[in-house]
Amino acid sequence: MNVKDIHNVFFIGIGGIGMSALARYFKYINKNVVGYDKTRTSITDELVNHGIAVHFEDEISQIPEAFKQKDNTLVVYTPAVPSSHSQLQFFNDAGFEIKKRSEVLGIITRDTFCFAVAGTHGKTTTSCILAHLLKEVNTPFTAFLGGISEDFNSNFVLEGTEYSVVEADEFDWSFLQLSPNIACITSMDADHLDIYGTSEELQQSFYDFTQKIKPSGMLFIRNGLPLKGITYGIEDESDYCIENILIEHGTYIFDLKTPTEILKQVRFNKPGRHNLLNGLAAFAMAVQAGSPPYRLAKALGTFKGVQRRFSYQIKDSDFVFIDDYAHHPTEISAVYNAIKEMHPNEEITAVFQPHLFSRTKDFADDFANNLSKFDMILLLEIYPAREEPIEGITSAWLLNKIDNPRKKLVSKSNLINEVRDCKSGVLVTMGAGDIGLEVPKIKRELAYAS
């Protein structure tokens, strides 16, 4: 595919966080962009505001006539779209050039100096921190982010085309389409077993990803992962290491050891040791772009965050409301530990929406063990996303596994009433489904009540 020969780009699933970033890229380089999504969201509204036509009916009649010219139209789709989708079938039957989002991302970034962040957790935050650092030191880059950066208020950043920042997504082997110069692997916990079958196959895919790094390239890995690369960690013998951590008014202050120097009194404002590791990984990658480490270390202190990644919605002296994208047991554990570190004496109520029947089934015991740590648990029904139900796999079934007397199955329609009665000092909402749409409603209700 030669991007220069493409005039029209049609997106099927344009409202996805990765798809919408690509749509904005093509719009920016003056292509005609149209897309379908099944649900109107703030992301689709933003696309419309940028002049991109979005429709919500899976009808062939919704495809503009100009986009039925297969010689100059590219069709981009997400694997979450079923093969029975009418528009996808139309383009398939007519012989259009059809590519997955990951393929297109690989093509766009192939001729850039590409930074790729991989891992079952931490990709979005690490990528957003990296984009922020590069911006602060005036590096010309384009970023395709898997979340809304609070520094850019966007999931797409265009500051130049010499460098690129991308998330290397392991779902559906997507990251094997990339050919990065600098790569990072943050974690390799079992996930997406509906795709990979076993954790061993998932780990093999990460090894295969490392083989995609350009010969002159470099791999950073969190210390302890079963791969060879430049290591980063906290209070250990890693090549890049955070040491002497203090917490002052919710801010981390620490020393940052590189292979050649120690940077003193570095500041970072996002709670959680997992976020410290994300910041360290981004810093180590950014050093390879040639910027002075002391400038990058200073820029760590001004990173604002990512929407739905340990995002404080309310932060008063007597009550805190946090929202997080956590949808895997390891991520739930990281959120819990971060809250206990920053708010050590507060009772915590957790609202959790499981994401995918298969993930709930595969990790039920781990979900139950980690949710049991919270003082009170409000459990929503499973968000199916792309999946059909699995017999016997329900939130009621998961609730029975949680070893905590203060647990309750709640509906979204009654969630406001439940959290209104919350007496805990900390409320946290977690999940990768549509629970994010409930967060503004909860925030308004609790702010009004106070």
Segment (H or E) for 263: strand 262-268
Beta partners for residue 320, in sequence order: 315, 426
Beta partners for residue 243, in sequence order: 255
Alpha carbon distance 118, 168 (integer Å): 5
Alpha carbon distance 145, 21 (integer Å): 7
Q: Which long-range contacts (CB under 8 A, 24 or more apart) does 441-448 make?
A: 441/416, 442/313, 442/321, 442/415, 442/416, 443/313, 443/314, 443/321, 445/416, 445/419, 445/420, 446/314, 446/319, 446/321, 446/419, 446/420, 447/314
The position carrying tokens 């904005």 is 24
Residue 122 annotated as lining a ligand binding site: yes
Alpha carbon distance 140, 380 (integer Å): 43
Give the residue among 54, 132, 449 at the shortest CA–CA distance from 304: 132
Exposure string (b/e) for 362-377, b if CB count within 10 Å is 16 or more?
bbbebbbbbbebbebb
CB 57 within 8 A of CB 38: no
Tokens, residue 97 = 């050039």
Residue 99 annotated as lining a ligand binding site: no
- Strands of the sheet containing 53-55, edge to edge, are 53-55, 32-36, 8-12, 73-77, 97-100
CB 169 within 8 A of CB 147: no
CB 271 within 8 A of CB 259: no
Residue 35 annotated as lining a ligand binding site: no
Residue 198 annotated as lining a ligand binding site: no
The position carrying tokens 């895997």 is 328
Alpha carbon distance 180, 316 (integer Å): 43
- Residue-by-residue DSSP string for 139-169: --EEEEEEEEETTTTEEEEES-SSEEEEEE-
Residue 91 CA, distance from chain mean position: 30
CB 246 within 8 A of CB 253: yes
Residue 109 annotated as lining a ligand binding site: no
Alpha carbon distance 378, 430 (integer Å): 10
Alpha carbon distance 162, 409 (integer Å): 50
Residue 290 annotated as lining a ligand binding site: no
Residue 210 annotated as lining a ligand binding site: no
Q: Is residue 54 packed enough to be buried (19+ CB in 10 Å), middle (13-18) or exposed (0-12)?
A: buried
| Annotated binding residues for ATP | 119-125
Q: Which residues are annotated as a binding site?
A: 119-125
